[in-house]
Amino acid sequence: MDDLAFDPHARDEMARDSVSEDEVYTVVADADEIIERPDGKSEYARMMDDGRWIVAIVDEESRTVVTIWWDTRRSRRRNRRRR
């Protein structure tokens, strides 16, 4: 897989939801769902082994992760660790 760049917003979201860079690569490389959007971005989503449903939005032209989140509504593990 090509290297991905990370937008500062994506980094902030990763820190908030405790999502590692390795997990982002896993989501993009082995997504359960991929939605190609008309704005040139794609939405990659995957159920992780620990039950979290993680979604990443990637600008396909620049291969930049624009944002990422842990979708608690679709996750088997509901509680997000709060700080």
Answer yes or no: is 66 within a domain. yes
**Gap between the terminal Cα atoms of the chain:** 33
| Whole-number Å distance between alpha carbons of 15 and 79 | 16
Answer yes or no: is 59 within a domain. yes
Domain containing residue 40: 5-70
Answer yes or no: is 57 within a domain. yes
Let me know: does 29 contact 47? Beta carbons within 8 Å.
Answer: no
| Whole-number Å distance between alpha carbons of 65 and 43 | 10
* Tokens 């082994």 belong to residue: 49
Answer yes or no: is 75 within a domain. no
Answer yes or no: is 28 within a domain. yes
Averaged pLDDT, 16-40: 95
Structural domains in the chain (count): 1
pTM here?
A: 0.86
Answer yes or no: is 77 within a domain. no
Checking if the pLDDT of 11 tops 90, the result is yes
Q: Give residue-wise pLDDT tens across range 56-65.
A: 999 999 999 9
User: Within 10 Å of residue 65's Cβ, how many Cβ atoms?
Assistant: 25
Answer yes or no: is 11 within a domain. yes
Checking if the pLDDT of 45 tops 80, the result is yes
